[in-house]
A and B are shown apart, each in its own frame.
Chain A
Amino acid sequence: MKDEIIVRRPQNLTELDQILLENGNSWTFVAGGTDLLVQKQVWQRATHVIDLTSVTELHQQVEVLPDKVRIGAAVPYTKIIKHPFIKENFPILCEACRQIGSIQIQNRGTIGGNIANASPAGDTLPVLSALDAEVLLGPRQNGTFTHFKPSEIMAGPGQTRLKQNQYIAFVELPLPAKEGQFWAFRKIGQRQAMAISKLSLAVLGWMDDLLTIKEIRIATGSVAPVIQRHAKTEALLNGQTLTEALIEKAAEALKNEISPISDIRSNATYRRETTANVLKDVLYELLMEKKK
């Protein structure tokens, strides 16, 4: 039993890519382990494991670039929550990370893991979608990473389009304009901590002083088998002045646009109604705030 598993702990990206390109093994990647070690069968069956927390760039790096930030896929949530630049420019991401599991989970869990695990209830996923995130996949081909949108990686519950031995290296977030920005991340679950979401909603948008919505992005989690942006509801709101009538119309539109599932945590009817109500709540709150 003892030596049936090979573990590699590469120190940097070059070493990591070398391991993956040098032989024909099928590697299992582990970062925080907070999902993988719960899936006991997957963990017990793995024969070749690469620890991504040993790769400095992936585990430690949050790189602030002129027009975006590049976060190592194996950086723990806690580090993201506490990072001054992310706190300042991506409060919606901090909020989603703060609502994941518990402090213990946040101290180990990672965004890369959230994407790779591909749970429809992955709390950072609707936020990444609303932020127009790019996901960078390795190993690098001729020195460059493969780029994907988070929604393109997720194929279904627990299913990704990642190829064998492809790993999530970084998540890049374009810097959103600050002027007139509004955002919200809401999660509905059994209890505040630890609960897996029945549904989650991420809203990011920009509005001028006359309450005209310049742009709005709406994404939901846990509602459908994959994370979704809701282009129809977004289109109905874009360019419009925020009024009570418009909010009611948007909630109706979202109700029609989503195709919720029924599962162990909730049913489709509840999800449809509640998702629309949560959007309503977010927009009414925005309206109240602006009218003050």
Chain B
Amino acid sequence: MIVSFKVNGRQVDLDIDPRKRLLDVLHDDLQLISVKEGCGEGECGACTVLFDGQNVNSCLVPAFQADGHEIVTLEGLKKWPGFSTIERAYLEHGAVQCAYCLSGFVVSTVAYLKNQTEQTVNEDQVKYALAGNLCRCTGYTKIVEAVKDLAEHEKLKELFAEDWPYER
């Protein structure tokens, strides 16, 4: 069946097997290899992408549901001016080791920073926002610290408002 949707700002029209997951289409057909399969059942978050600006497990989304919607993967986030700030925070905090989980974490981080409404930032909120992503190397502390720093980054908030290149 034909599905048409936007990926990282680009319109794509594909003829897909309707049983394919969004993960399969992004990783295999579109070669967006930041979208990784971990558990394949929505537990680990390695396949996290933005679906209309919200983070979802692409292993649990039938690809045809993307029809008419906007998907953003890590490849797309790299084109956004705020990305380098996020990259730097993860590196400076030593929040990166083997990095299999990293693209999923970064996508969830962006979703959290973009959608957060609370005025003050605390550790519980950050942990809650990232609870759908598993990491087996870092022990989480460094990731949580990095994201807490980012949540207090004023410039980043402005960037979401001004320079977000995707819909919603």
Residues of A within 8 A of B (CB): 1-2, 5, 7, 9, 30, 32-34, 37-38, 43-44, 49, 51, 53, 78, 101-105, 107-108, 192-194
Contact = CB atoms under 8 A, between A and B. Distances in A.
B108 A104 contact: yes
B107 to A, nearest CB: 9
A102 B48 CA distance: 12
A122 B160 CA distance: 35
A104 B57 contact: yes
B51 interface: yes
Contact of B131 (A44, A78, A102): A102
Category for how many chain B residues contact A: 20 to 34
Interface string B116-141: 00000000000011011100000000
B60 interface: yes
Given A5-B19, A37-B62, A104 B55 contact: yes
The 3 closest A-B pairs by CB, nearest first: A102-B132, A193-B131, A104-B132
Name A's interface SS: loop
Given A2-B17, A7-B64, A34 B42 contact: yes
B145 interface: no
Given A9-B67, A102-B133, 16 more contacts: A1-B17, A5-B18, A7-B1, A33-B62, A37-B60, A38-B41, A43-B19, A101-B132, A102-B132, A103-B112, A103-B132, A104-B42, A104-B57, A107-B54, A108-B56, A194-B132
Given A34-B42, A103-B132, A108 B61 contact: yes
A37 B131 contact: no
B111 interface: yes
Interface string B54-77: 111101111011010000000000
B119 to A, nearest CB: 16
A104 B65 contact: no
12 contacts: A5-B19, A9-B64, A101-B132, A103-B55, A103-B108, A104-B55, A104-B56, A107-B55, A108-B57, A108-B61, A193-B131, A194-B131
B65 A53 contact: yes
B36 to A, nearest CB: 14
Contacts of B29: none
B144 to A, nearest CB: 13
Contacts of A1: 17
A34 B59 CA distance: 9
A34 B62 CA distance: 10
A103 B19 CA distance: 24
A86 B43 CA distance: 28
Given A105-B57, A107-B56, A51 B64 contact: yes
Contacts of A78: 54
A249 B18 CA distance: 56
Given A7-B1, A102-B131, A34 B108 contact: no
Interface in B6-42: 17-19, 21, 41-42
Given A5-B18, A104-B108, A51 B132 contact: no
A167 B134 CA distance: 34
Nearest to A102: B132
Of the candidates A101, A104, A107, A194, the one having the most CB atoms from chain B within 10 angstroms of its own CB is: A104
Contacts of B57: 34, 104-105, 108
A177 B114 CA distance: 36
Contacts of B60: 32-34, 37-38, 105, 108
Given A7-B64, A194-B131, A103 B111 contact: yes
Interface string B69-103: 00000000000000000000000000000000000
B131 to A, nearest CB: 3
B131 A192 contact: yes
Contacts of A38: 41-42, 60
Contacts of B67: 9
